[in-house]
A and B are shown apart, each in its own frame.
Chain A
Amino acid sequence: MKLKDVISPFYVWQRAFEKPYTNTKPIDTRPGADAYRGFHVNDIDKCVGCSSCQTICQNHAIDMVTTDKNSMPGDSGLRPRFDYGRCCWCALCVDICPSGSLHMSNEYAWVSDDPDSFRFTPGVDEKPWYQHEQGYHRDPNYNLLKLERAEMDMLSTEEGLKSFDEVVSGYNHEQAIAEADRCIECNICIATCPAHMDIPDYIKAIREQDLEEGLRILYKTNPFSATCGRICTHRCEDDCTISHLGKPLAIRWLKRYIIDQIPAENFARILQDSCEENGKKVAIVGAGPGGMSAAYYLRKQGYRVSVYEANKRAGGMLRYGVPTYRLPDDQLDKDIDYIISLGVTMHYETKVGIDIEFNTILDNNDAVFLSTGLNVPSNLRITGEEHPRVVSGLQVLFDTASGNNPNVGQKVAVIGGGNVAMDAARVSRRFGADVTVLYRRRLEDMPADPEEIKEATEEHCHFVTQAIPVKIVPADNPNQAIIHWGEAEMVDDGKGGRPRPILQDDKMHTETYDTIISAIGQSGDYSFLSESIRNDLSLKWHKFEVDDRQRTRIGNIFIGGDVANEVADAVSAIADGHNAAIGIHQYISEKV
């Protein structure tokens, strides 16, 4: 033992007068670090109520509760409520938040004598720390979600233009698994889908490589999955929660992946649709997606179903309106053949009102479902439109689908900005024509799918917007027509609606074309209905009024598809068919 060992401990006195490092709250306060994980902040308008925070929370500290927010497409209307008796401030909820609405402030002290106050809904209950700029935000380079889509193999534009072969190749196994892995199972898409398909469930089936289960899930709500897997307007993807920070899931391609992997001959074994006869009869007018969807669900419940179709083959607009490079015939047949195989009686080339009276059908069946579609092209309502070189977009598509060359010539003008216009333009390109699309409003006003517009542009369709056709006059060459069109100016309507195009008389153009295709809309032909029935069924803007089960004012008549549906796309018609089947079943069961 040295003397030093006895003396040196007295060194402790040196620090006796040092200021302590701790602070005396509430006199002193010390803010948390910039990235401190303090109390939660939720941007209530950015949040979509997807529940991912609730799913990932290992402490069950988060409940989704209703607030003043209404649920709407892409937003469940629910918001997370935090229970600070359970929270451990791990911030996994912040890391997973797909809308980027949730983060944390750097506030860490909260004193209250009311234990219930520690359960609160950030963004709804007013708290002082919402104004703090500091606090934990997920680093942009740290991501628990996969924001990029699995690449889809497609034909090059040049290849695509050479034939009517399908452009999109479909996912292979690895691509499908990678894409399916991105789903966060928030179920927001289910509410958006008109058919309310169990999207997260069939995506899960892909992840778990149980495609047969996937097929069963698809057929619960949609018997046109091969079709919808290709040409659906996929509003589910528009509302996909992942789209807030990244690319939405390729839900449509995933659906297609399931169907593509399973050969048609296995459907019966997998789906096990028994169709036990119940002795009741239902007639369906129109074998489009709505009619055939209703036929499927009715047949499954044991109804004897007869379908009346004016054309040679079933499919309606899917067959005669959608070109085969988007929906090949064999894929449409895959859907339709399975439905027919369940014992649906088809009456092709039977025009109701001509070949058979509507009232005969009505009298011979317990109920009737009408889904005749919109197949009368709207007129341009300009002088000279009766010129033989002016044809409708529907006609061009019908001819093409029927295997006839529509002979559009070398130089084509397409008037309109909807999907039919895009299809007619792209079909004309495949017949080798130079195509100009004339649209009266701006590019962003076009009602066609953005992806159709994009692909049409890539295929070198020339877009002229704010162009209003004025008249069509014969050209010197009888196989040509001259169109006069004027430039339009967009004028605000003063009511907050979309601006209206106003023709400017001093900016007129003329151009000669081999074919002028008009595709500015279409309407229904209801002449097969008797005057009294037509009066009883209420028509509004050329569409029938129906309720959520497609019921009309006449008990045994149900109507769906484009003739009733505002949206007028395939998946809505399919959903209508399903709803009508439920409605008809209810109606007949109650009547007995």
Chain B
Amino acid sequence: MNLTHDFSPTPEVDLASGKYVKIWHGPQHPGITGNMSLELTLCGDEIVNCKTHVGYLHRGFEKLMERRTYIQNFPLVCRIAVPEPTFNEYLYSAGIEDLAGIEVPELAKWLRCLNLELMRLGSFLMWLGGASGAFGMSTVYQWTVTHRDYILDLFEEMTGARIYHMYISPGGVRAPLPDGFKDRCLMVMKKVEKLLYEVETTVLNNAVFKKRAIGLGVISSDMVDAYGVTGPNQRAAGYARDTRKDSPYLVYEQLDFDVITATGSDAFDRTIVRYQEMHQCVSLIRQMLDRMPTDGAFHTPTPNVLHWKIPAGETYVKAECTRGEYGYYIETDGSEYVRRVHIRGPSYTHAIAVMEKLVIGANIADVAGLMVSLHTYPPEIER
């Protein structure tokens, strides 16, 4: 296994020689995880060059936020990462609270944390289906998406919406848990756990999957810090780093969990790390349902949101999302509008920079599998 990476630029190829063919992989290709594309140069079925292209769903969130009041940004940010909106809600709120000096009530911290872990599980389930599909096992996709739907049902109860929850608002959360939520949530966890063992049988112990995924898209350990690789991609390369452990936020300090790592750093080990993190999610959710307070305030009143001004300042808040470190840099200037927001999503690194390097030498048929194994969400690249 090659664990040192060649950082020299990819050599130019002579397209006129007739030896090469250029194809576009995406933006509509089902193996691409959303609207981005790879411009691939092939020699036979081997990839010799790759250029990543984004811009298909640029909506200019960071700029839009500068023209909206603080409360108006709250329903906007969830759209930045469609399958995983909650992390945006949390980080935006946490940043604003930091700048405005608002202390969040204890119950709100637990509810936020529960929301984030449910989201992580739902997001991983969708990813697991995508990963199985990319390696030719679409049946599993149907199972996992169904189970994600059970989680969306929980969200619907808890937050009032399935995808764009708009639940974590500056100051706390919008509503307490509905009656009987704990039991229904535990029931879903049971179902998900059963599914995970089935997935282990059908995907992780699958000769075809092993054959194709082991050794595919190895992220060498010196690439990790050079490219800013985070999350399961980094942990599969042997780095025991997790924002939840390293700089704990919300109630993670009160929960029992270990950082999961692997050593192979290929598509297979990344899948294993995520698979184990899904078990970890189930355990965290159970711990939280057990230990969280049942009543109390869930929202700290903010100043009047219609003309809320926040003193000048800057902050960077971060959280561990499914793909790695998700961060919000927010700068305020004392007005009713945010001066600048910069959103650091892990997909930018993984899908644009790392992908271009990993795909060289891979087989055209494995591009989709490799792309999915990095777990990227193009909407979060184009904020």
* Interface SS of chain B: helix
Interchain nearest-CB distance for A269 vs B (Å): 28
* Interface SS of chain A: loop
CA distance in complex: A187, B160 (Å): 32
Contact of B205 among A5, A15, A95, A181 (CB under 8 A): A5
Contacts of B75 in A (CB 8 A): 58, 88, 90, 92
CB-based nearest A residue for B150: A21
A351 at the interface (CB under 8 A from B): no
CB-based nearest A residue for B164: A88
A6 at the interface (CB under 8 A from B): yes
Interface string of A135-156 (1 = CB under 8 A from B): 0100101111110000000000
Size bracket, chain A contacts: 35 or more
CA distance in complex: A261, B9 (Å): 69
Residue with the highest number of chain A CB atoms closer than 10 Å, among B149, B153, B160, B301: B160
Interchain nearest-CB distance for A206 vs B (Å): 12
Q: Give B52-96 interface residues, CB cut-off 8 Å to A.
A: 68, 71-76
Q: Which of B24-32, B207-215, B261-269 contacts A (4 or more CB under 8 A)?
A: B207-215
CA distance in complex: A5, B74 (Å): 47
Are A9 and B206 neighbours in the complex by a CB distance under 8 Å? yes
Q: Give B309-331 interface residues, CB cut-off 8 Å to A.
A: none
Contacts of A141 in B (CB 8 A): 176, 297-299
Contact of A146 among B74, B140, B304 (CB under 8 A): B304
B294 at the interface (CB under 8 A from A): no
Interchain nearest-CB distance for B106 vs A (Å): 14
Are B205 and A8 neighbours in the complex by a CB distance under 8 Å? yes
Interface string of A165-187 (1 = CB under 8 A from B): 00000000000000001111100
Are A142 and B306 neighbours in the complex by a CB distance under 8 Å? no
Are A56 and B161 neighbours in the complex by a CB distance under 8 Å? no
Q: Give A196-238 interface residues, CB cut-off 8 Å to B.
A: 204, 207
Are A21 and B149 neighbours in the complex by a CB distance under 8 Å? yes
Are A56 and B71 neighbours in the complex by a CB distance under 8 Å? yes
Contact of B210 among A5, A33, A37 (CB under 8 A): A5
Interchain nearest-CB distance for A205 vs B (Å): 12
B307 at the interface (CB under 8 A from A): yes
Interchain nearest-CB distance for A4 vs B (Å): 6
User: Known: A12-B139, A21-B146, A184-B306. Contact between A136 and B201, CB under 8 A?
Assistant: no
Are B306 and A52 neighbours in the complex by a CB distance under 8 Å? yes
Are A5 and B174 neighbours in the complex by a CB distance under 8 Å? no
B10 at the interface (CB under 8 A from A): no
Contacts of A9 in B (CB 8 A): 137, 201-203, 205-208
CA distance in complex: A339, B252 (Å): 67
CA distance in complex: A4, B205 (Å): 7
Contacts of B298 in A (CB 8 A): 141-142
Other than A14-B198, A21-B149, give 9 A-B pairs with Cβ distance below 8 A.
A5-B206, A6-B207, A8-B201, A33-B153, A35-B160, A36-B156, A141-B299, A143-B299, A181-B307
What are 30 A-B pairs at a CB distance below 8 A? A1-B207, A4-B205, A9-B205, A11-B198, A11-B201, A15-B139, A21-B149, A32-B156, A33-B156, A34-B178, A35-B159, A35-B160, A36-B160, A56-B71, A56-B72, A56-B305, A58-B68, A58-B75, A88-B75, A91-B166, A92-B71, A139-B175, A142-B172, A142-B174, A142-B298, A144-B302, A144-B304, A181-B304, A185-B307, A207-B307
